[in-house]
């Protein structure tokens, strides 16, 4: 999957460059390139000086137009589903998604990769958290998607574990998923400090349209443990 992600994010590359990026041997890259071709990913390769490996982006669903938000939604749904369990048709869904993403222009592929790198998958929530977790307000999902993908601030009422409430304004730099709970990895605008907010403790969310921000992966790095079971949805940070 990381190899497929790299191919989507560049116009052309070489086997040696892919091997270096993934920290594997060229033979491993060639083996997985063959696997991706078998699954329908349109990979073209040309030997010799000036050659390389690239995606044939004009193939695929050229008559269908998806927004970046729709593509991210499909990608996240497929990857999160695969993280939690093995389901029937899961392999077919992954293959279809590969074909769809391979048809993206290189710039949109890079945008998708950058966005999904900000989504962190952790181990499932503990029994204690599962028992205490509630549902986020319905409007939060739509507002968060807009803020997260477009670099907008959020303001909301937050209730901490002791039941104390406060009004917060944040920059949503990352998303941490611990099924079935998710957290916003953010920078608090008032204090400029990294803060984590649990989705079901948020109420009255509102999008702030008067200010924007650039995503900062350092805000994300300091808020989740660097363990093998915690990883970005796409690639490394």
Bridge partners, residue 169, by sequence: 155
At 153-170, the pLDDT tens digits run: 999 999 998 889 999 999
CA gyration radius, the chain:
20
> Which domains occur in the chain, in start order?
1-116 (1.10.10), 127-232 (no CATH)
pLDDT at 181 over 80: yes
Percentage of residues in the chain having pLDDT higher than 70: 74
Instruction: Report the C-alpha gap between 160 and 235 in whole angstroms.
Output: 32
Q: Hey, CA dihedral for 94, 100, 104, 108, is it positive or negative?
A: negative
Write down the residue that tokens 């304004």 correspond to: 169
Q: Residue 13: name the closest of 51, 46, 53 by CA.
A: 53
What is the pLDDT, as a whole number, of residue 60? 47
Instruction: Report the C-alpha gap between 52 and 44 in whole angstroms.
Output: 8
Q: Are 112 and 79 in contact (CB under 8 A)?
A: no
What is the pLDDT, as a whole number, of residue 207? 94
**Between residues 86 and 33, which one has the greater pLDDT?**
33
Phi, psi of 236 (to 5 degrees): -110, 160
How is residue 81 written in tokens? 């589903």
What is the pLDDT, as a whole number, of residue 186? 95
Mean pLDDT score, 67-87: 66
Distance linking the first and last C-alpha atoms of the chain: 15
3-state secondary structure of 189: coil
């Amino acid at each position: 999957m990381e190899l497929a992600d790299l191919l989507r994010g560049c116009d052309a590359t070489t086997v040696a460059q892919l091997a270096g990026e993934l920290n594997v041997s060229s033979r491993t890259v060639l083996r997985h390139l063959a696997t991706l071709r078998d699954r329908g990913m349109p990979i073209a390769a040309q030997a010799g000086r000036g050659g390389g490996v690239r995606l044939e982006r004009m193939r695929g669903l050229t008559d269908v137009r998806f927004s970046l938000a729709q593509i991210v939604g499909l990608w996240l749904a497929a990857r999160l589903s695969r993280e939690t369990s093995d389901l029937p048709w899961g392999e077919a869904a992954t293959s279809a998604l590969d074909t769809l993403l391979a048809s993206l222009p290189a710039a949109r592929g890079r945008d998708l990769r950058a966005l999904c790198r900000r989504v962190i998958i952790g181990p499932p929530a503990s029994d204690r958290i599962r028992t205490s977790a509630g549902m986020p307000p319905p409007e939060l999902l739509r507002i968060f998607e807009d803020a997260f993908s477009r670099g907008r601030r959020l303001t909301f009422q937050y209730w901490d574990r002791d039941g104390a409430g406060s009004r917060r304004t944040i920059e949503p730099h990352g998303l941490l998923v611990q099924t079935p709970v998710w957290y916003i990895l953010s920078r608090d605008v008032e204090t400029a400090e990294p803060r984590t907010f649990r989705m079901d403790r948020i109420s009255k969310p509102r999008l702030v349209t008067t200010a924007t921000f650039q995503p900062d992966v350092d805000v994300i790095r300091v808020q989740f443990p660097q363990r093998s079971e915690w990883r970005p949805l796409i690639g490394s940070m």
